[in-house]
Amino acid sequence: MRFPRRALASTSALALLAGALAAVVGGASTGAGAATDPVEEAIAASAAPGHPWQPGPATYGARMQADIPVTMADGTVLRADIGTPTDPATKQPASGTFPVLLTLTPYGKDVGSSAGLGVNTYLVKRGYIDVAVDVRGTGDSGGGFDLFDPKQTADGVALVNWAAALPRSSGKVGLHGASYLGINQMLTAGAVGKNSPLKAIFPIISANDLYRDTAFMGGIPDAEFDTVYLGGLLPAVNLINPVVGALVNPTNILGALQVLLQHGKNTLDYNALFLMNTFMGGPDSYDTAYWQAKGPGNVLGQIVANNIPAYLIGGEYDLFQRGEPLNYAGLQNAYAGRPVTAPMVAGQRTTGRYQLLDGPYTHLQGGGIGSSFDALELRWFDTWLKGEDTGMAQTPTPLHYFDLGTKHYAETTNYPVIAAKPTVYYFGGGRSGTGLSRNDGTLTTSAPSAATGSDSVLWAPVGASICDRSLDQWMMGVPSLITSRLPAPAPCFDDDRLGQIGPTALTYTTPALTRAKTLAGPIAATIYAAANTRETEWVVNVEDVAPDGTSKPLTQGALLGSLRTVDSSRSWTVGGQVVMPYHPYTKASAHAVTPGAVTRYDVEVFPTYSTIAGGHRVRVTVTTTDFPHLVPTPPQILKLLGGRYVLQRTASAPSSVTLPLIG
């Protein structure tokens, strides 16, 4: 764990949370866990063979400058902290020039490097100038805040040029940081244009599409994350940081008070409007221009056109589980001259300029809590900002996807994975004898031939279990970080059986596998069902069932019935099978469910990579709720009340799931 450069009094609420969690887990895994050190394995796999490299020692000291004003084109003053290499003997600025690394944070640059959000002295001591800037409307910076406001992107471009001209700068700039800091890296990299001083980025746990990845799953609000983050944590940090700044620098109390009042008004105005426009059922509860303007997926082509290499870090239990491999595929496609939103294809050329490390991480783990990517980040920037021959540009396998079953990285090139064959498994009747659900159905590759066959399920706002993997995932991994150190850790994050009982869940399970098979990539579920309401809610979970009955959750997807329209031009098809259905999620695409009519629902299930051992089974659990992760808007709830659905498994309506299988 790295420590902040300022006293505890200067630490924001977010840093306190991060530090406390890091102290709790001490770097331990959280049930997703890795048997090997993911950082060491990633360093070895991210470069071509024959290029030995080790991170250099801390050659320099670090001189810190705080709250440096930087004026934007509209007169808004942003505040920056700067770490500069020094001569350890004299404590004076080191001779020579150094590349500049830049991070733009809404959480308060004063948190320091303990949470990976401020100046990183590890990098400073190895020959980089590191700069952390509070984005407008946050921390010690002036201006108004809006989530990934285009003004923030314009600020990012201006700050890149400003950083390149700093004293002792080599003129080359890199961007780094996690989560929000990773997303605004990509938006900035897409906007800088060609021949910019920006030469490389290192976005950690960054989204592709904010609407689909996190804010809404299948058109249903992710209330768990959004209310905690947008409604609680972010406003609190924005209000606390100016007070912290005044305590640290009492000579600027008046300025800090002005910023506090401005942030307070910004918070009230922004949050009230955001709540009404989204989670209360307003216009932005659909995928509108508001969300499209904030999506890194829309600038991937520009990043490649601007000649900016990118190393991506993702997590299979992260908030952006869906989007991180899509960013990788989009960048590789753009490099190969293919459509950014298409699936990669066999024989497609790839490059080490665009890599993804997709590990066994929740959001906080991927962001550096419990594991550090310092050495990997250093190698990346040494490659592109210092011109060192590290081998990273030549790696033959730029996609490093952690196998949750074998606990090792699968080294490959394409997403979706070329070796994975889309295989359709159909929901069947009878009892598998392995589940606790009312129906305990089967899952086989044989399509149903009967004219009748169905299972009924009820809609309810809350199901049998509110403690499951999605609770942990969409709370950023906080619950598992805490419970992992309790005398009796909660088993529900790694066993779905409790949520499979009751009237809101149905299960379908394969026979025991005769040999290991690997699930690798996106999954599509097709549900045929009749309902007595004009709205339906579907949640699909895929699980690995051990011989002792433990039902380990792997991944999940959801769909609001009225938003079932599929855009075939954006859907991914492999081998004639749809593996990732794409829904517009617009108001124009919405169509009410016709009560009593058998209706088709294509559910996008987020990707996973996991080897299912021989003797294990694959289970698909279909539920109608996932509280508190998914909480429909008030207008949606009114249409869902009293829902009874009859899932079909007949020759004319064969409900199924398409699994990407290796082996």
* Across 360-369, 388-397, 521-530, 555-564, least confident range: 360-369
- Write down how long the chain is: 663
DSSP labels for 202-226? Answer: EEES--S-HIIIIIEETTEEBHHHH
6 pLDDT more than 60:
no
Of 32-36, 106-110, 294-298, highest mean pLDDT: 294-298
Cβ-contact 405, 613 below 8 angstroms: yes
Give the model's confidence band at 299: pLDDT under 50 very low, under 70 low, under 90 confident, else very high. Answer: very high
Cis ω before 607 (30° cut-off from 0): no
319 pLDDT more than 90:
yes
CATH number for region 421-662: 2.60.120.260
**Per-residue confidence (pLDDT) for residue 142, from 0 to 100:** 86
> What mean pLDDT do residues 510-523 have?
98
Cα 305 to Cα 150, 181, 194, 323: the distances in Å are: 20, 22, 7, 21
pLDDT in tens, 449-503: 999 999 999 999 998 888 899 999 998 888 888 887 877 777 789 999 999 999 9
Cβ-contact 387, 336 below 8 angstroms: no
Give the model's confidence band at 91: pLDDT under 50 very low, under 70 low, under 90 confident, else very high. Answer: very high
Domain with CATH 2.60.120.260 in the chain: 421-662
**Per-residue confidence (pLDDT) for residue 35, from 0 to 100:** 41
pLDDT in tens, 116-156: 678 999 999 999 999 999 999 888 888 888 889 899 999 99
32 pLDDT more than 60:
no
Give the model's confidence band at 231: pLDDT under 50 very low, under 70 low, under 90 confident, else very high. Answer: low
Place of tokens 């100046």: 119
* Across 36-40, 162-166, 415-419, least confident range: 36-40
- Please report, as a single letter, which amino acid is at residue 250: P
What percent of the chain stands above pLDDT 70? 86
- For 417, left (φ over 0), alpha (ψ -120 to 50), or beta? beta
> What mean pLDDT do residues 275-282 have?
79
pTM of the model: 0.92
**Per-residue confidence (pLDDT) for residue 365, from 0 to 100:** 84
Cβ-contact 62, 154 below 8 angstroms: no
Give me the chain's average pLDDT, please. 88
10 pLDDT more than 80:
no
pLDDT in tens, 45-83: 899 888 888 888 999 999 999 989 999 999 999 999 999
**Per-residue confidence (pLDDT) for residue 391, from 0 to 100:** 94
Span 8-412 CATH architecture: 3-Layer(aba) Sandwich (3.40)
Domain with CATH 3.40.50.1820 in the chain: 8-412
